[in-house]
Amino acid sequence: MAGLSAWFWNERFWLPHNVTWADLENPAPGVEYPKAGHLFTALPLALGIFVVRILFERFIAGPCARSLHIHQGAGRRAQPNAVLEKVFTSITKNPDSRHLDGLSKQLDWEVRKVQRWFRHRRNQDKPSTHTKFCESMWRFTFYLCIFTYGFQFLWQSPWMWDTRHCWYGYPYQAMTPGLYHYYVTELAFYWSLMFSQFTDIKRKDFLIMFIHHLATVSLISFSYVNNMARVGSLVLCVHDASDFLLEAAKMTNYAKYQRLCDFLFIVFSVAFFITRLVIYPIWVLNSTMFESWAIVGPYPSWWVFNVLLLVLQVLHIIWSYLIARIAIKAILRGKTQFASSPSGMREGDPVFLSIFVQ
């Protein structure tokens, strides 16, 4: 294990040339540098956030949903049938004509009745509009609060106004309480989203979302360990800037306030395009790729970090295209639709509205 640990924490990978872990072990009195052990604080905090989410959805979001006439609504349930349930859980949720004919003969049912049973059974596993509204209200509240905190913190930070401060004195940069709380809270939130996937109704984008949350957790943790938290805070703020607008649009869609939904979706789209296609590459990527090269110089983890940020930019371009396509369809159709599919999109549309955050 000692050999594996030494290999993983190789100084020549994580740190700039001529810097060692020993150099960071004894900072001046009152100064704290980031350490990997700090990240473990996010785990109990994630559990706390998960509990707060449950209480929020039950005692705040739930009553709000009912006041907007969005009720639990049990929906039509499939009648109990051991044979069909076994096929549904162990073979297929969408039987083809061969399976349908065989089940029809075995149960002495009409094929249409078998099809109807499977449709009702699939719908049982889908979250209700009430559930989706409560989830969106929780995310809206968190994203708005964390964006407000992050923007207020960065407003008072020199690297927001001159991104070269992200690299002056690197890696001997103190981890301030404000930056630490911002980073760990964001990390804990995405840990909580990973936890909740195993307790929520399982959706068809489960694996995609799990990979997304895992990638987000990894990128936040990676930037913290090698003390790129200053530029990391800029990345977080840029991404948080539009996320709460999407959740607001989804809430108004569930509440059937279509005009307000359309307006919020337009505002979200504009905010997304500006933050992800303009501010992010000009403000963040320019700093991580060029300013850091001039001030600090490249080293292995620097290359990894920048490659990950470039991949993120490619995703921004793809998602922007998909948003534009949704917007054009909405204009032609006369309204924005987030649909009833588990991911919040119409069947057949790319599953992206639930994954392009962060």
> 58, 90, 125: which is the final residue of a domain?
125
pLDDT of 180 above 60: yes
Looking at the fold, whether 120 and 226 belong to one and the same domain comes out as no
Alpha-carbon separation of residue 310 from 166, 280, 288 (angstroms):
18, 10, 10
pLDDT at res. 51: 95
Looking at the fold, whether 199 and 99 belong to one and the same domain comes out as no
Looking at the fold, whether 137 and 158 belong to one and the same domain comes out as yes
Burial class (CB in 10 A: 0-12, 13-18, 19+), 272: buried
Please tell me whether residue 301 adopts helix, strand or coil conformation: helix
Looking at the fold, whether 181 and 317 belong to one and the same domain comes out as yes
Q: Domain total for the chain?
A: 2
Looking at the fold, whether 218 and 112 belong to one and the same domain comes out as no
Widest CA span of the chain, in angstroms?
Answer: 81
Give per-residue pLDDT as tens, 273-312.
999 999 999 999 999 999 999 999 999 999 999 999 999 9
Give per-residue pLDDT as tens, 209-233.
888 888 889 999 999 999 999 999 9
Instruction: With CA atoms as reference, report the closest residue to 24 among 36, 12, 33, 11.
Output: 33
Looking at the fold, whether 120 and 253 belong to one and the same domain comes out as no
34/25 Cα distance (integer angstroms): 10
Number of helices and strands (H, E) in the chain? Answer: 16, 0
pLDDT of 130 above 60: yes
Please tell me whether residue 250 adopts helix, strand or coil conformation: helix
Q: Say which CATH number the domain at 102 has.
A: 1.10.10.60
Q: Give the side-chain half-sphere CA count within 13 A for 297.
A: 6
Q: In the 8-state DSSP scheme, what is residue 59?
A: I
109/116 Cα distance (integer angstroms): 11
Q: In the 8-state DSSP scheme, what is residue 349?
A: S
Looking at the fold, whether 161 and 255 belong to one and the same domain comes out as yes
Give per-residue pLDDT as tens, 93-102.
889 998 899 9
pLDDT of 77 above 80: no
For 318-335, what is the mean pLDDT? 82
pLDDT at res. 345: 32
pTM of the entire predicted model: 0.84
Residue 254: inside a domain: yes
Looking at the fold, whether 113 and 200 belong to one and the same domain comes out as no
pLDDT of 337 above 60: no
> Do residues 130 and 227 touch, judged by C-beta distance below 8 A?
no
Residue 249: inside a domain: yes
250/338 Cα distance (integer angstroms): 7
Residue with tokens 């707060």: 52
Q: Give the side-chain half-sphere CA count within 13 A for 93.
A: 10
Its sign, for the CA torsion 226, 231, 237, 240, is: negative
Looking at the fold, whether 113 and 185 belong to one and the same domain comes out as no
Q: Which two tokens stand for residue 83?
A: 């044979």
Looking at the fold, whether 197 and 313 belong to one and the same domain comes out as yes
For residue 112, the enclosing domain spans 82-125
Residue 75: inside a domain: no
Residue 212: inside a domain: yes
> Do residues 239 and 182 touch, judged by C-beta distance below 8 A?
no
Instruction: With CA atoms as reference, report the closest residue to 244 among 210, 272, 215.
Output: 272
DSSP string, 269-288: HHHHHHIIIIIIIIIIIHII
